[in-house]
């Protein structure tokens, strides 16, 4: 039986990490995904900056869709969201809030993760039906920003992207992040260039451990 949207969401939230992949070649995606799965990270966001990203999403969904939760990142319009969903994406991530992307993602019953920066933008994205709001870029804001927002608005689900690494991963979780979006700190350019899959697996384990520790597990 195919999994429900809630089951996919819980799979990502349980590990607490989405791997944001900007692969230099589509062919690498299976190896990267297997390395991440071995480290306990099933949430795999293939950014549209990856060459032949839609074909890569289709390949991942076909081969590993029973194990990982494949999504698409850096989505700038509704047409791209639709193409990625039809290829097998279970979640759609954008750097900004575009109402038509959220609407398209919801229509197909997938997880919507639009980007926002200010409290007003975050509330607009949430009000439009976002499942989680990606606070981007979170680099300069830091975890205390989440604490400040969640005091008056505890109903929000937030995730940080930008500047998330092993040093601050636990702090973001403690500040209220549902899960983290980790890019180069998890899947580094160096590891991809050298095809050093064990390095990616070790990073994934370290991130998952940091999340568990922060959650008191």
Burial annotation 30-50 (CB, 10 A radius, 16+ → b, else e): eebbbbbbebbbbbbbbbbeb
Q: Please, what's the largest Cα pairwise distance for the chain?
A: 46
Show which residues are catalytic.
45, 134
Residue with tokens 């981007």: 136
Measure CA 111 to chain center: 10
Q: Inter-axis angle of helices 29-38 and 53-64, to 10 degrees?
A: 50
> What is the arrangement of strands in the sheet containing 115-116, beginning at the earlier edge strand?
115-116, 133-135, 158-160
Q: Inter-axis angle of helices 29-38 and 197-214, to 10 degrees?
A: 40
Cβ burial of 125 (10 Å; 0-12, 13-18, 19+) is buried
User: Are 94 and 105 within 8 A, CB to CB?
Assistant: no
């Amino acid at each position: 039986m195919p999994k429900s949207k809630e089951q996919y969401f819980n799979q990502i939230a349980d590990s607490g990490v989405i791997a944001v992949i900007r692969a230099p070649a589509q062919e690498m995606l299976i190896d990267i995904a297997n390395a991440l799965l071995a480290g306990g990270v099933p949430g795999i966001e293939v950014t549209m900056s990856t060459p032949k990203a839609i074909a890569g999403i289709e390949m991942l969904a076909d081969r590993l869709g029973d194990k990982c939760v494949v999504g698409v990142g850096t989505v700038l319009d509704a047409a791209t969201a639709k193409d990625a969903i039809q290829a097998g994406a279970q979640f759609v991530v954008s750097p900004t809030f575009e109402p038509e992307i959220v609407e398209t993602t919801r229509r197909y019953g997938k997880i919507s993760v639009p980007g926002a920066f200010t409290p007003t933008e975050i509330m607009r994205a949430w009000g439009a039906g976002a499942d989680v709001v990606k606070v981007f870029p979170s680099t300069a804001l830091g975890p205390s920003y989440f604490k400040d927002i969640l005091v008056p608005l505890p109903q929000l689900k937030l995730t940080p992207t930008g500047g998330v690494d092993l040093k601050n991963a636990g702090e973001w979780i403690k500040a209220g992040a549902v899960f983290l979006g980790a890019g180069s700190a998890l899947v580094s350019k160096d590891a991809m260039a050298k095809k050093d899959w064990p390095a990616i697996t070790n990073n994934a384990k370290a991130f998952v451990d940091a999340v568990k520790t922060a959650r008191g597990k």
